[in-house]
Each structure stands twice: as structure tokens, then as C-alpha cells.
Amino acid sequence: MALTQMLPTHALAMNLTFSRILASSSGGVPLLHVLLVLIVVGILLWLVNRFIPMQSTIKSILNGIVVIGVVLWLLNIFGLLDGLSNIRVGH
């Protein structure tokens, strides 16, 4: 039996409407996807910091790299890094 036959029609319509609300109007990454990635990265970083024994300097370097990576990813998603693609280094 298909999923569409198991769910009532109004539930499918509500799910599609909710998906459209969460998707950005420019066809980019949906807001729900961004929030889920941020939550997963935060939980993984917390687990590493909490349960993997490391020196505090290594932990702070790892935290800094993850935070910089997430910030760059967010800036790229929201289109604030588009101008950097025109910069050329070297020949």
C-alpha cells in the first residue's frame, strides 16, 4: 500500500504547505535543513568535547575550526560569499 493511500488527503496537503513555508523563496536551502544541520553539528561537537579525552588546546582548535566552517557555510547559503568567488589568487 502506498504512503499516499495510508495518509488522509488533508494531512498530505498540510505537509506540502509546511514544506513550502520552510523552503526559501529563491529555491535555496530550506530553513528546516539549516536548523537540522546546526543542531546535528552542535550535538556532535558537544559529544566530542564531552566524551573524547583531548588536551584543552586541541579541543579549542577543533571548536574554532568547526565554528569557522559553520559560519562560512551559513554565509555561503545566505549568499554573502558570492563576491569572493570573483577573487583570483595567482595566475
The letter for the amino acid at 85 is S
Residue 58 covered by a domain: yes
Residue 7 covered by a domain: no
Q: What is the pLDDT of residues 55-86, one digit of tens each?
A: 999 999 999 999 999 999 999 888 888 776 77
Residue 15 covered by a domain: no
Q: Which residue has the higher pLDDT, 23 or 37?
A: 37
Q: Which residue has the higher pLDDT, 43 or 9?
A: 43
Q: What is the pTM of this model?
A: 0.61
Residue 87 covered by a domain: yes
Work out how many domains the chain is built from and give that number.
Answer: 1
Residue 71 covered by a domain: yes
Non-local CB neighbours of 89 within 8 Å, separated by 6+ positions? none
